[in-house]
Structure 1
Amino acid sequence: MRLSSILPGLLLLPALAGAQTNYTIKGKVGQLNTPIKAYLRYAADGKQVTDSATLTNGSFEFAGTVKEPTRATVSLYYGPTASRFVNGTERVKVYLENGTISVESADSIKFAKVKGGIANQESNDLDVLLKPLEKRNADLMELWMSKSEAERKDSVFYAGVMATNDAIVKDRKEVLKKFIASKPRSVLGLEALQEYAGSFPDYEEIKPLFNTLAANVQKSEAGVKYAERLERVKAVAIGAIAPGFTQNDPEGKPVSLASFRGKYVLIDFWASWCGPCRAENPSVVKAYNAYKDKNFTVLGVSLDQEGAHDKWVKAIADDNLTWTQVSDLAFWKNAVAQQYAVNSIPQNFLLDPNGKIIAKNLRGKKLEDKLAEVIK
């Protein structure tokens, strides 16, 4: 159910070349005191690291060591009496790098100014570049929300909104692409590339861009992880033979992808908890019913969680998903989802009778249109 001169960056980011990064964060948010607490969270060596600090007259401090400049979040927890919205949005991104980093705000940490270090400055620079696009996106959302349901369904209005949205996305990608080219030796260049690529990277476009990043960035922990993701993306690109897998159906019976060879198969990644997936299910049901007697079927792969077997089965029944379903109930660590480089849902892959991937991420009418094209 998804941030600027090259020579100073080269000189002042030794951590990416192998040195340890010793950071100190000094925060100040108004005059807040305990029981409000500050939390620092980041990933290192594949694990989530969390540190905490108390506030005294709004001040707090963190200090530690990481292998390389690392993206983190600093958040405030106001306690169990505060709303989930407040506790969930009081956060700001910070890059852990050598030296002292200041995080200051007169009231809310989500509006804090972050200063100190090259990566944090580059992050601020990128935020400035993207700010006009954020404003355009907010204006478009405000326009959408101001309309009634009937007005939103007007074909001319809807087409105009989609065209404006597409233009914003295009312009944002242009900003990101230029930023990537200007920051080949920076962790921010890699992060901009990841945003540019989105949830469904095109290997043929993104791999060459990744290769323009300096070796120290490519060999960083984040760089190695993204390179591995790109290889998984390559394995499930259009034209590739879909990787085989076996998972259990709701009754615990193993089901293999190979058993569907000889048919057109839509591998459909979804979950009972995923609102957009559930909203898309009627379109999949319609396509399935139209083509199930024409050598076509669907194989659902659920990203439901351990202990959610009954919710998974109920969603299958409620949404009339009469095709085969499998899952290992491992949430985002679902083995097939990882194998297919899936990090957002809904997502799908259409296979021909030989097991070759011929289309991806077909939504709504596009699924039926593609089936009409390939199934005569």
Structure 2
Amino acid sequence: MKKIIYLLLLSSFVSFSQTEKKSKVTFTAKIENRNSDTLKIYGPNRFVEVIPIKNGVFKATFETTDGLHQFSDGKESSLLFLKDGDDLKLTMNAKEFDETIVYKGKGAEESNYLAQKALTDEKFEMSLEELMAKDEATFKAALADKKGKDLAALESKGLNKKLVEAIKPVIAQEEMMLTQFFNQKKVAAKLVGTPSPTFNYENHKGGKTSLESLKGKYVYIDVWATWCGPCIAEIPHLKKVEEAYHANNIEFVSISIDKVKDHEKWVKFVTNKELGGIQLFADNDWNSQFVKEYQINGIPRFILVGPNGEIVNADAPRPSSPSLVELLDSLLK
């Protein structure tokens, strides 16, 4: 999963202040069941190092800037911390990506901390559904407990001060973000069974498409934008779901909330990425009536509407979540 908190950490990686001094580091990785023949390391200044594979091992020595980085194998990614003189040696099994990450060598402490935090955060997020069913006081107590443990772990490991300075505010923001997530789920739950807000938006293929015109079918709606990284990450999964259910009584509708000035960007994006389903462009980005009535304050947001026009789930599972297939199978098969 690692969706909510990981994205917050990733945003800190982009904004984390850096020194101008270049640092020289060595990165070596031995990966079982690899997803790709290359790795990419993204640094604070959008630095990218592609590491070709040789004899089953990725290895490169390069210059970057001290701070948070992200490595990706093209399918999954993880955060690490690099500083001058580091000689990191990573071992992992790509089939159990997060669970098997282990660093050794100079500078390993910080990156091992980030890997373990990702695991802890993922386990907490997996418990969110159960916590959502409880009262607000219980949820807030769980958040406070997590925050206390995260701060204790951060302070007890003797980590690089720059990393500690970067992560501390993130831990504080996690509590706020997850509280907003809780409130969003509660609002969405109250909408189930009520008539869905409607739309009548420009269709990429021409003309306009309204929600009413799809009555009689289930409608899975993706509210997204071309600038939204997490939205784009869901596209390959959405394509697979669309393909799996193309013969069923369901329509897949993607509503872009890009600004009007980015209309042409949306047109080209849909064409170049060969996006399927019904591709629509909202009339007033975040201020579109459909978006406001669903109280959407973060994207991607997925919504499932029933054949009778009533809301089945106002905050439906993402395409990348196995629970979406379970939900659709229960309704369509």
Could you tell me the TM-score, scaled by structure 1's length? 0.45
Larger Rg: 1
TM-score (norm. length: structure 2): 0.50
